[in-house]
Chain A
Amino acid sequence: MAKLTKALALAAASVFVLTACSTGTGGTASSAAAAGQLPATTIKILAPSYGDSSQADWQKIIDEFKKKEPNVTVELQIEAWDNFTDKVKARIQAKDYPDILNDNAFASEATAGLLYPINEVMSDSTLASIEPALLKNGLGTDGKQWAAPDIASARLMASNTDLLKKAGVTAPPKTWADLETAAAKVAATGVSGYGMPLGSEEAQVEASLWLWGAGGDWPQGDKLVANQPASVEAFTEMKKLIDAKSTQPDPGATNRQAVADLFDNGKLGMYVTHSGLMSVTRQKFPNIHYELSQIPSKDGTPVAFGVTDFILAFNNNDANRKQATKEFLDLFYSDPMYEGWYKGTGLLPVTTSMIAAGKASDTDNAAFYDALSYVKFLPVSNPQWDALKNALQGTAGTIAKDTPENVLSKIQAQVDAQG
């Protein structure tokens, strides 16, 4: 009996300690705001990890912000890209909306009415500093600017020059026919020819690249259409490479990182890459010699893939938080802050001043900067995109064992079922 009482007392005590801990962070509301400074409030940031330095890169901006606004507490949560969407969903379902979210999509939140239009939380001059062609990407189908891009990346094809030379391929392929021959030749030397990641992570990217290579695109009117002649053509060509065993094994269960690992270890001839992955190759795998070129298409027209990630601002119905968010974002996009932050991601900047500076100085990424002029973007602002993305991620990989027509009609059925 005495033991039990003791245990209960201990349990009760630990509960008190826990609650005391959890109230500790929010309990600094009393200090009065000095003139010109914002009143005490807390803003929350949820952002993915682009690399090892992401936490520190955000923290630098937060420290600078704290110097200007000492009354505002900034809570930063950094999560890995794997399952990042699940983390976002968890916050939304718990109604704990981050004031600032860095993500690669915005349509679902915008449609659900959870966001501020981004021009309400950024000054006009900050918005004007963003490259207009990239800013357009954050426009919703309703014409409102729901998100502002914060990072861009272009994708091009990387070829391992040593492996290509060994296989007797003189230049990186530009057309599908060239790619077939080149990949087959490289595969004949005992490594994989072309890396095709159709796993859950990026099947939507790979599938889109091939569709664009065939001259098509997903949107038809305001609908997204998976089952169309151009996509059948694209999937047929992808299947051709898989059937010829010119790709890495099991494309349907491979993610881009796994393909990049193969490339970095000299076991893969060609794959579609971005500047972040290539900077890893340069720094950690100096023995891999590579060349960047346009992504092959049916007739040789250059294809490049563009991605922008976005800043979204959730509406927490709190004027103070909104004001603090606005000041934070204006600081975030200012040249001295933004330069350090974007460089930490290994990707390309979105402000006109930084793009100009990067083009002039960043020789490693020159090809990616050049590609920014002809990149195509995924239809992320379309509310149907989530359904199409999920369907592509789950089903595109089955072309290894099924006909392109069947696979595409399955994808179409999944999109249609979700309205």
Chain B
Amino acid sequence: MTRPSAVTALRSDSARPRKRPRRSGVLTALPWVTPTLLLIAGVVIYPTILMFWTAFRKYNSYGIEQGSAGLNNFIGPAGAFTFPTVPWASVWTNTVVWVVVVVLLTLLLSLGLAQFLNKDFPGRKALRLIIILPWASSVVMTTTVFNYGLQTDVGLFNRLLVDTGILQTAYGFTKDPTSAFWVAVFVAIYVSLPFTTYTILAGLQSVPRDVLEAAHVDGAGAAQRYWQIVLPLLRPAIAAATLINIINVFNSLPILKILNETPGFNTGHTTTTLIFAYKSTLGPGVASALSIFNFFFCLVIIAVYLGIVKPTKEVQ
């Protein structure tokens, strides 16, 4: 064992024969898992408790606490789900479209890209490096570059589109909530591609060549080989990439927030950006109330996903 870690310590512990008293096993593991447990308590459990507490307290918009709120933060006159003029129909649709479209398109594009990068061709190393770039730079930075490029007066992308005749006049892509939303979808796919591609590429490299050659000899066509050998073997990689992408994309704030320049409760919100709009106008209580919903929504997605795909089984 070259690198002792909490995980390996736990594994060897559970592999011990049952006869040994359990308590001493837990005690041996304790020093190894304590840092992790402390971390989880500090950055996961404490904020969650605080979120629930905050959701039932009354705050003014400056975040000054003013006593108990009961259910007012959820369904009061200025509650998260009952505040007037919030376009709920588009918020729900956007949230679902955002997650499904970004995750699915990223996955499909990554499958193609990974297949391509798995081939031997001159310059493959350089190309692989270039594809990492959007992953290596910060999401806020990448998004800001897109935002500047798409500005009506000074944006280079707009200039390019006009000069090439694709657009008649410059268009304010980020000034309208709907078009801003679709630009955000594009950027989200762009920044999710590297991780997904590399996960799948790693999966592809573990597909044994001899199996593929054997199938080839037996007369299986390229499509048959892909569908019946490569794809099933990629299942763990795809499963892991999808799960991580769903959570990442659902919780992603910066892309939508930076690209949607229209203020207020417009038709470009997802539930995640709405939390932040509430935070600045109605205070932390109402924002937390909606966060709780987001929290459960995320849990349900993961549960459904785990139930259907059973990724943990495959990964092990």
Interface residues of A (CB under 8 A from B): 1, 4, 85-86, 88-89, 92-93, 108-109, 111-112, 114, 199-200, 203, 249-250, 252-254, 262, 267, 386-387, 390, 393-395, 397-398, 410, 413-414, 416-419
**A200 touching B62 by the CB < 8 A rule?**
no
Q: How far is the CB of B283 from chain A (nearest CB, A)?
A: 9
Minimal Cβ-Cβ distance residue in A for B79: A417
* Tier of interface size on chain B: 20 to 34
| A413 to B83 CA separation, bound complex (whole angstroms) | 9
Assembly CA distance A93 to B85 (angstroms): 28
Q: Does B25 contact A (CB under 8 A)?
A: no
B62 touches A395 (CB 8 A): no
Q: Are the C-beta atoms of B63 and A200 separated by less than 8 Å?
A: no
**B249 beta carbon closer than 8 Å to chain A:** no
Q: Whose C-beta in chain A lies nearest to the C-beta of B263?
A: A200
Given contacts A1-B4, A93-B284, A252-B175, contact A414 B85 (CB under 8 A): yes
Whole-angstrom distance between the Cβ of A414 and the nearest chain B Cβ: 6
In the complex, chain B residues whose CB is within 8 Å of the CB of A112: 60, 62, 64, 66
Residues 246-265 of B, flagged 1 when their CB comes within 8 A of A and 0 if not, give 00000000000000011111
Specify which of B85, B176, B281, B282 is in contact with A250 (CB 8 Å cutoff).
B176
Question: Most chain-A Cβ atoms within 10 A of its Cβ — which of B62, B176, B264, B266?
Answer: B264
Once the chains bind, are B64 and A114 in contact (CB under 8 Å)? Answer: yes
Which residues of chain A are near B83, meaning CB under 8 Å?
A: 414, 417
What are 30 A-B contacts defined by CB distance under 8 Å? A1-B4, A93-B64, A93-B284, A108-B62, A111-B60, A112-B60, A112-B62, A112-B66, A114-B64, A200-B263, A203-B263, A249-B152, A250-B172, A250-B176, A253-B175, A254-B175, A267-B153, A387-B61, A390-B281, A393-B264, A394-B264, A394-B265, A394-B266, A394-B277, A398-B264, A413-B84, A417-B84, A418-B77, A418-B282, A419-B77
Q: Among the listed A109, A253, A262, A393, which residue makes an inter-chain contact with B62, where contact means beta carbons less than 8 Å apart?
A: A109
Q: Contacts A252-B175, A253-B174 known; A394 to B281 CB distance under 8 Å?
A: yes
In the complex, whether B30 has a CB less than 8 A from a CB of chain A is no
Cβ–Cβ < 8 Å partners of A4 in chain B: 4
A395 neighbours in B (Cβ, 8 Å): 85, 264-265
Partner of A397, one of B77, B262, B284: B262
**A93 touching B172 in the complex, CB below 8 Å, given contacts A393-B264, A417-B77:** no
Residues from chain A with Cβ under 8 Å of B63 in the complex: 89, 92-93
- Which 7 residue pairs across A and B have the least CB separation, nearest first? A394-B264, A200-B263, A250-B175, A413-B84, A253-B175, A93-B63, A253-B261
User: Hey, which bits of chain B sit against chain A, CB under 8 A?
Assistant: 4, 60-64, 66, 77-78, 83-85, 152-153, 172, 174-176, 261-266, 277, 280-282, 284
**Interface contact tally, CB-CB below 8 A:** 88
Question: Do A249 and B62 form a contact, CB below 8 Å, given A4-B4, A393-B264, A414-B84?
Answer: no
Asked whether, in the complex, the Cβ of A92 is within 8 Å of the Cβ of B62, the reply is: yes
Residues of chain A lying within 8 A (CB to CB) of residue B176: 250, 253
Q: Which of A92, A108, A417 has the most CB of B within 10 A?
A: A417
- Chain A residues positioned under 8 Å from B153 (CB to CB): 262, 267
Whole-angstrom distance between the alpha carbons of A393 and B280 in the complex? 12
Report the bound CA distance from A397 to B261 in whole Å: 11
The answer to whether A92 and B64 have CB atoms under 8 Å apart is yes
Contacts of A386 in B (CB 8 A): 61
* CB-nearest residue of chain A to B176: A250
Q: Given A252-B263, A410-B84, list of 12 further CB < 8 A pairs?
A: A86-B280, A93-B284, A109-B62, A111-B60, A112-B62, A199-B263, A250-B152, A252-B175, A253-B261, A387-B61, A393-B263, A414-B85
| A136 vs B309: C-alpha distance when bound (angstroms) | 67
Contact A253 B263 (CB under 8 A): yes
With a CB–CB cut-off of 8 A, which chain B residues contact A114?
64
Taking CB atoms, residues of chain B closer than 8 Å to A252 are 175, 262-263
Chain B residues closer than 8 Å to A93, beta-carbon distance = 63-64, 284
In the assembled complex, how far is the CB of residue B172 from the closest CB belonging to chain A, in whole angstroms? 4
Q: Could you say which residues of chain A place their CB within 8 Å of the CB of B175?
A: 249-250, 252-254
Determine the distance from Cα of A112 to Cα of B78 in the docked complex, in whole angstroms. 19
Once the chains are docked, how many angstroms separate the CA of A359 from the CA of B69?
52
The interface residues of chain B lying within 8 Å CB-to-CB of A414 are 83-85
Contact A89 B152 (CB under 8 A): no
B residues less than 8 Å from A249 (CB atoms): 152, 172, 175
> Which residue from chain B places its CB closest to the CB of A262 in the assembled complex?
B153
A199 touches B261 (CB 8 A): yes
